[in-house]
Chain A
Amino acid sequence: MQPADVTSPNAAPASPRALFLTFTVLALQGFGGVLAVAQRELVERKRWLSRDEFLEAYSASQLLPGPNVVNIALMLGDRFFGWRGALAAMAGMLAVPLAIVLLLAASYGQFSHHPMVAGALRGMGAVAAGLTVAMALKLLGSLRNNPMGPTVCAILLLATLMAIAALRLPLAGVVLGLGALGWSAARWRLRKAAARR
């Protein structure tokens, strides 16, 4: 691939249909997560988004509830074609992969008693656990610039981990409670930093 100018986008999808097809192709390449494929297709190849716009969309989609890549598809589709575009991009991301995964689930029942199939799925399950842990560890680096400082961040992180993994508290209370605590702490630190300036 040529070293594309990824700082400014210069292309747009021709129609919601083009959005649907692009996101279908993109989703079908994504095993174990679509994000890296989305970055390459949307920024470097199609150039519908600049690198910075993609980063911004990803940060926003991490904050918003819902699957990250689906939220990126929604935002991108909405930007070009409004509601129709958002729906087309989301449908592209989900429709064909959904059919495939349900077919797999339906046929799995016939093979599940086979020790090699069960073993393979157990192996994939262990890798899936590792992938999730690795993703969390990678994101730890982004806490370095957090206005709350390392101590408050570590306390909030460990409290969340303990509440969910060890105490098995319901997610709603944990996110709302610790999230509100984090929001207040960040708000306070940002105000203090602004006053000092």
Chain B
Amino acid sequence: MNGSLAGADLADLLVHFLVLSLLAIGGAMSTVPEMHRYLVVDRGWLDDAGFTSSIALAQAAPGPNVLFVPVLGYQIAGLLGAAVALIGILLPSTLLSLAVSRWASTRRDKPGVRAFTAGLAPVTIGLLLATGWVLAQPFLARGTPPYGALAAIGLTVLAMLRTQAAPIWLILAGALAGAGGLI
């Protein structure tokens, strides 16, 4: 890990992320299951722990969630990998977003546009739930019953739905509980 890939592998990574960029509806996090399939299951460039800790690391740092993507690239192929992953995930969606927002600002009430919004909403939410499931996998798959991890996940959901607590405090609490060996 953290080595370097051959040029052909980097090109493959770039092309794959360019395509993923256009599929990242509902945000970059919704591509997590597909990235896991590609990087861990198909290519074996990262193991499960490396994959999950990259995402946790990016979430622990300030900035948009999409920064987990260059961290994955970095774990696979250093700074070049980070650059390739970031450019791949951002370039197509950036161009498309600009073009569409200019185009749609004039015709947002057209039925075709409204049907698109309505039709995709449940798919987006399904994708987010699947992402939560994939992220929870490494904790649920451990040998002993994962009470600590289950409690952390459940308490986080409860705190997000029932309180105004900022996510940073929940992440901090998770870090402390984990450092104390509870998770």
Which A residues contact B (CB, under 8 angstroms)? Answer: 27-34, 36, 56, 59-71, 74-75, 78, 86, 90, 93-94, 96-98, 100-102, 104-106, 108-109, 112, 115-140, 142-143, 146-148, 152-154, 156-161, 164-165, 168, 170-172, 174-175, 178-179, 181-187, 189-191, 194
Give the most central of B26, B28, B149, B170: most A CB within 10 Å: B26
Contacts of A135 in B (CB 8 A): 128, 160
Give the most central of B25, B100, B157, B170: most A CB within 10 Å: B157
Does A105 lie within 8 Å of B74, measured CB to CB?
yes
In the docked arrangement, what's the CA distance between A36 and B2, Å? 34
Does A185 lie within 8 Å of B119, measured CB to CB?
yes
Contacts of A63 in B (CB 8 A): 25, 116-117, 120
**Digit string of B121-132 for contact with A (CB within 8 Å is 1, else 0)?**
111111111111
Distance in Å: Cβ of B120 to nearest Cβ of chain A: 5
Contacts of B182 in A (CB 8 A): 123
Q: 4 closest A-B pairs (Cβ-Cβ)?
A: A123-B178, A97-B63, A130-B156, A160-B126
* Number of A-B residue pairs with CB-CB distance less than 8 Å in the complex they form: 373
Does B60 lie within 8 Å of A124, measured CB to CB?
yes
Distance in Å: Cβ of A29 to nearest Cβ of chain B: 7
Does B94 lie within 8 Å of A74, measured CB to CB?
yes
In the docked arrangement, what's the CA distance between A83 and B128, Å? 31
Contacts of A190 in B (CB 8 A): 111, 114-115, 118
Contacts of B22 in A (CB 8 A): 65
Does A62 lie within 8 Å of B129, measured CB to CB?
no
In the docked arrangement, what's the CA distance between A32 and B169, Å? 10
Interface of A is mostly: helix
Interface presence of B11 (CB below 8 A): no
Does B71 lie within 8 Å of A101, measured CB to CB?
yes
Contacts of A147 in B (CB 8 A): 114, 118
Residue of A nearest to B133 (CB): A165
Does A168 lie within 8 Å of B177, measured CB to CB?
no
* Given A62-B124, A125-B139, residue A98 in contact with residue B63 (CB < 8 A): yes
Question: Told that A64-B100, A120-B179, A130-B153 touch, could you supply 19 new A-B pairs with CB distance under 8 A?
Answer: A27-B62, A32-B60, A101-B63, A121-B60, A122-B149, A123-B179, A124-B56, A124-B59, A127-B153, A128-B56, A129-B156, A130-B160, A132-B135, A133-B132, A147-B118, A160-B130, A186-B114, A186-B117, A186-B118
Contacts of B126 in A (CB 8 A): 156-161, 164, 178
* Given A108-B53, A128-B55, residue A143 in contact with residue B125 (CB < 8 A): yes
Contacts of B134 in A (CB 8 A): 164-165
> Which residue of the partner chain, among A106, A152, A171, contacts B31 with CB atoms under 8 Å?
A171
Residue of B nearest to A86 (CB): B98
In the docked arrangement, what's the CA distance between A167 and B38, Å? 15
Contacts of B2 in A (CB 8 A): 109
Residue of B nearest to A140 (CB): B125
**Digit string of B39-81 for contact with A (CB within 8 Å is 1, else 0)?**
0010000000000111111111111111100110011000100
